[in-house]
Chain A
Amino acid sequence: MPLTLLIYYLLPWRTVRNRFLLLMSLIFYAWGEPLYVLLMMACICGNWAFGLLAGRWRGEKRGMLLLAAMLVFDLGLLAVFKYAGFAVSTVNSLLGLALPVPRVVLPIGISFFIFQGISYVIDVWRGEAEQRRNVLDVGLYIAFFPQLIAGPIVRYNTIAAEISGRRETWDDFVSGIELFIIGLGKKVLLANNFAIAADKIFDTGGYESISIGAAWVGAAAYTLQIYFDFGGYSDMAVGLGRMFGFHFLPNFNYPYIARSVTDFWRRWHMSLSQWFRDYVYIPLGGNRRGTARMLLNLLAVWLLTGLWHGANWTFVLWGLYYFVFLVAEKLTGLAKVLPRLPLISNLLVLVIVMIGWVLFRAPDVDAAFAYIGAMFGVFGNPPVDETFFFQTSENAVHFLIAAVACVPVLPALGRRLAAVGIVPGQGVGGRVLGMARDVLLLLILLLALASLAKGSYNPFIYFNF
């Protein structure tokens, strides 16, 4: 990263800088996937070609064929590399066959860069952005290293203008550093810590005998792990993008303070839900063709959302799980009622979300149901056990920090201080506040680097994506 920053800012022109970023992005990807970088390059070339034609055939019938061909190409790549094994296993199970199950290694980040490729072509087709004549510009959009592996899914129309017309500013650079540090801290100091507890409880198995308390601690640990891991990577991506002058949209907005499941999905992985809304739900008709059609459209979206996360029935179930709650809220009007009952709705949504994460985390459907059963003592589970006591005490400090980090306490504090004239950097009080914030950020950075230098447990949970 330091070398990339240094060379980038030494390079004279926008075009040269873009080519350099693309080169570094390809090297970054090749570092982990020396073979599959070719696949990504094929995805770039394919979508660039489709984009050229989409711009030329915009509004024409053959444009629709082109879009279909693009979807076959992009989704075909996903089908082969991500779902082939799952599909064949499912067919074997359903039909009692013994077809050879292909064992294809999933290229890291394929779900992200394929979706960005699709976004590019569709946005050009819709006239929301102009096609790029130069494949290298498309390459930069699809392969840009900050968001390549773990998102956010950057919609082409949101940054199309910035590929050629962005302006790097000092303010952006500094806020990018702040975001990067916060993201790094979330991932390394919080997510990695909760991963240890979550893995310990989930991977031990024997859910019929673990205590109710331990089951909830495991679910809570995973709930926090996935938020701080994913949210951390997103913050780092947005921060890094800003250092290079790009303004990616945020991906998370304090999802665990949501007061309805509908609200939760407006705060969680926003880039994905917006992608499905704009490229699947609305084109299918959204809620404009009657209730029955709306329900079908929602079902399609949530089945696909579940499948996008991984080739396993647990993810499909997870998607359907949220479909049920979202439909229930829509049809009953609860989506509007719940927010008026703050604490109750917060708790209810949190419980729903935590159970959803159990579906997400469990290795298979049976294990998921067994775990959820343990959470409610279905097997006569004891209320607490040594696992519960140990994991609670071992992670007490981190649970406390995480609880504060899950709610917008600091932004609210910032607003209150600003209301009384204390703004970071202005006046004596503001300068003290600004320095304190910078020292804290530096401490977070050092602690995160320390954890990485030590060789701490650093799980990568995006192998399904």
Chain B
Amino acid sequence: MQDKKRRWFLPVAFLTLIFGLGVGTFGLHAGDYAADAAYVQANYQVPVYQRAEALVERWTATAADNMPGREALVELDGLSRRLAGKKFVRDIDYSYSVVKDNHGWLQFITFALEPKAIVQDIASYQALGVPIMYIQPPTKFIEGYTEFPPTLYDKTAENVAENFALLEDAGVPVLDLRAAAEADALDKEQMFYRTDHHWRVETAFWAVQQTRAALAEEFGLLIDPDGYYSDPAHWQSAAYPQSFLGSQGRRVGRFYGGLDDFTLLTPDFATDYEVEITQYGGKTSETVSGTFADAVLDMSKLSAPSVYTGRYDVYWGADYPIVRADNLANEDGPRVLLIKDSYSLPYGAFLSAMVDELYMVDLRYYDIADLAGYIEEIAPDLMLIMYS
């Protein structure tokens, strides 16, 4: 005869776990699922069964986001993979699979990609008469330094080479920060976050210094002529040690890839900004006025205790279709259009201190078909493309 004590532990634990997960995932977020249903009803003018399929897909994604204790489970999974010696953590979406390279850094795999539309069609933007410079940031997969486990291949270098070929044909000047980093002997260990696909904030600051020099050389355009705003001595540094679990780390947990230190750089000089953000769907948010800290920073990204918080978004808060930053303390500076991706979050913040107006357009959320018209509308003095 079975001991009744044993019979209670497992079933109670099992039922508690699945009920807890069920209630937490669905019960506490009923509104999210209702919102999904309303969205599908309003936006999917298709047969009923296709609407049902779309709804199931949205509910599945919502459930994944709302699962209670998800972070703890991710940590447990990462720990088990570390104990099993895994160097490759396959994700349900292959592009988000995480690789541990020869330095123990976490990496995404970059696949062969077509050059971005803006590069392919660069001539049409040159025709608008605005000086253009393409900026290639350093890449986390560093040729000759980074190695993937066998049979896993990164195509960053090939993709960059394809972009360069098109830009060279069009006669667009390129600032290759990979070469600049090599020339400046930047510490490769410190250029990127171990657990995030972005460069460190400090590296972005260095990139702005390089940009300033390149613009002077290429176009004779002097931004920050005295070198005051691009002098790190005039920027304050606040350290947040072991506080950041980056984009790659959030997929595998801290036990698999560790945590990063995060550094916040802020001006140690007077600032006065007016920032206007165009949200998704074209809606413009209210203009925020104030200092760099008021208008550019979203300190909630650093004050939130969870290491799963996207610290990197402290500059500007997130990626938006358009951000217009008017630096009221530098009305003599140029008006710059920056075609960006998320690498430009800190980069754009630092650049904004050296120019009069900075327009940042993120082509992942802004329709490129409207770009030429927008350029004509804002009439920038310079167009920088850091979008790869």
Range of interface residues on A (Cβ < 8 Å): 35 or more
B21 part of interface (Cβ distance < 8 Å): yes
Which residues 435-456 in A have Cβ within 8 Å of B in the complex? 435, 438, 441-442, 445-447, 449-451, 453-456
* Max chain A Cβ within 10 angstroms of own Cβ: one of B9, B87, B96: B9
Q: How many Å lie between the Cα of A17 and that of B76 in the bound state?
A: 37
Tell me the minimal C-beta distance from A407 to chain B in angstroms.
21
Cβ of A422 within 8 Å of any chain B Cβ, yes or no, is no
Does A148 reach chain B (CB closer than 8 Å)? Answer: no
B residues near A393, Cβ cutoff 8 Å: 85
- Taking a contact as CB atoms under 8 Å apart, the answer to whether A389 and B91 are in contact is no
A residues less than 8 Å from B78 (CB atoms):
454
Within the complex, the shortest CB–CB distance from A220 to chain B, in Å, comes to: 17
Please tell me if A181 contacts chain B, counting CB pairs below 8 Å.
yes
Option from B6, B48, B88, B150 in Cβ contact (under 8 Å) with A438: B6
When distances are taken between beta carbons in the complex, the residues of chain A under 8 Å from B97 are 457
Candidates A171, A173, A204, A449; contact of B73 at CB < 8 Å: A449
Nearest A-chain residue to B4, judged by Cβ:
A425
Q: Is B18 an interface residue (CB 8 A)?
A: yes
**Does B288 count as interface, using CB distance less than 8 angstroms?**
no
Best-buried of A3, A34, A426 by chain B (most CB within 10 Å): A34
Asked whether, in the complex, the Cβ of A30 is within 8 Å of the Cβ of B52, the reply is yes
- Knowing A453-B74, A455-B93, A457-B90, the reply to whether A171 touches B19 (Cβ < 8 A) is no
- Taken together as a complex, chains A and B put the C-alpha atoms of A302 and B64 apart, in Å, by 42
Q: Are B6 and A455 in contact (CB under 8 A)?
A: no
Which residues of chain B have C-beta atoms less than 8 A from A285's C-beta?
none
Query: Does B102 sit at the interface, judged by CB under 8 A?
Result: no
Q: Which residues of B contact A453 (CB under 8 A)?
A: 64, 67, 69-70, 73-74, 77
* B252: Cβ under 8 A from any A Cβ: yes
In the complex, whether B56 has a CB less than 8 A from a CB of chain A is yes
Residue among A35, A173, A204 making CB contact with B49, cutoff 8 Å: A35
Complex CA–CA separation, A391 to B73 (angstroms): 26
Question: Does any Cβ of A come within 8 Å of B283's Cβ?
Answer: no
Let me know if B2 is at the binding interface, CB within 8 A. yes
A435 to B253, CA, bound (A): 29
Are B151 and A390 in touch, CB under 8 angstroms?
A: yes
CA of A430 to CA of B5, assembled, Å: 11
Per-residue CB contact flags for chain B residues 97-114 toward chain A (1 = under 8 Å, else 0) read 100000000000000000
Contact flags B135-170 to A (C-beta < 8 A → 1, else 0)? 000000000000001110000000000000000000
Question: Is A397 interfacial (CB-CB < 8 Å)?
Answer: yes
Q: What is the distance, in angstroms, from A144's C-beta to the closest C-beta of chain B?
A: 19
Nearest chain-A residue to B48 (Cβ)?
A34
- Chain B residues contacting A196 (CB-CB under 8 Å) are 88, 90
> Main secondary structure on chain B at its contact with chain A?
helix
Cβ–Cβ < 8 Å partners of A387 in chain B: 150-151
Residues in chain B near residue A396, CB distance under 8 A: 85
Smallest distance from the beta carbon of A208 to chain B beta carbons, Å?
A: 17
CA distance A457 to B5 in the complex (A): 37
Cβ B88 vs Cβ A389 within 8 A: no
Q: A34-B56, A394-B149 are in contact. Are A174 and B10 (CB under 8 A)?
A: yes
| Chain B nearest Cβ from A185, distance in angstroms | 12
User: Complex Cα distance A32/B92, Å?
Assistant: 17
B residues less than 8 Å from A301 (CB atoms): none
Asked if A133 CB lies within 8 Å of chain B CBs, one says no
Query: B56–A32 contact, CB under 8 A?
Result: yes
Residues of chain A within 8 A of B233, CB atoms compared:
none
Q: Tell me whether B80 is interfacial, beta carbon within 8 Å.
A: yes
**Cβ-closest chain B residue relative to A424:** B6
B residues near A170, Cβ cutoff 8 Å: 7
In angstroms, Cα B86 to Cα A396, docked, is: 10
- Chain B residues within an 8 Å CB radius of A425: 2-3, 5-7
Bound-state CA distance A225–B76 (Å) is: 23
The answer, yes or no, to whether B200 is at the interface (CB within 8 Å) is no
Contacts A397-B84, A431-B3 given; does A454 touch B77 at CB 8 Å? yes
What residues of A have a CB within 8 angstroms of the CB of B261 in the complex?
none
Return the CB mask of B9-44 against A: 1 if under 8 Å, else 0.
111011101110111000000000000000000000
> Would A447 and B3 count as touching, CB distance under 8 A?
no
Of all chain B residues, the one with the shortest Cβ separation from A181 is: B14
CB distance from A214 to the nearest CB of B (A): 9
Expressed in whole angstroms, the Cα–Cα distance for A424 and B49 within the complex equals 50
Are B19 and A2 within 8 A (Cβ)?
A: yes
Closest to B1 in A: A426
Cβ A449 vs Cβ B17 within 8 A:
yes
CB <8 Å contact, A455 and B151: no
Which residue of the partner chain B has the closest CB to A38? B49
Rounded to whole Å, the gap between the CB of A103 and the closest CB of chain B is: 17
Tell whether, in the assembled complex, residue A386 and residue B92 are in contact, meaning their CB atoms are under 8 Å apart: no
Check A2–B22 contact: CB distance below 8 A.
yes
Give 1 or 0 for each of A74-92: 1 = CB within 8 Å of chain B CB. 0000000000000000000
Residues of chain A within 8 A of B6, CB atoms compared = 424-425, 431, 434-435, 438
Closest chain-B Cβ to A108's Cβ sits at a distance in Å of 13
Q: Any chain A CB within 8 A of the CB of B331?
A: no
Asked if A413 is an interface residue, CB under 8 A from chain B, the answer is no
The answer for the CA separation of A458 and B369 in the assembled complex, in Å, is 38
Cβ of A178 and Cβ of B19 under 8 Å apart? no
The contact sample of 29 A-B pairs, CB cut-off 8 A, is A1-B22, A2-B21, A31-B56, A34-B52, A34-B53, A34-B56, A174-B10, A174-B11, A177-B14, A178-B10, A200-B151, A386-B151, A394-B87, A394-B149, A396-B85, A397-B84, A425-B5, A430-B3, A435-B6, A445-B17, A447-B77, A450-B75, A454-B74, A454-B78, A454-B252, A454-B253, A455-B64, A456-B90, A457-B97
A1-B18, A394-B87 known; 4 new pairs, CB 8 Å cut-off, are: A394-B88, A431-B3, A449-B17, A456-B90
Binding site for B on A (CB under 8 A): 1-3, 5-6, 30-32, 34-35, 170-171, 173-174, 177-178, 181, 196, 200, 204, 386-387, 389-391, 393-394, 396-398, 424-426, 430-431, 434-435, 438, 441-442, 445-447, 449-451, 453-458
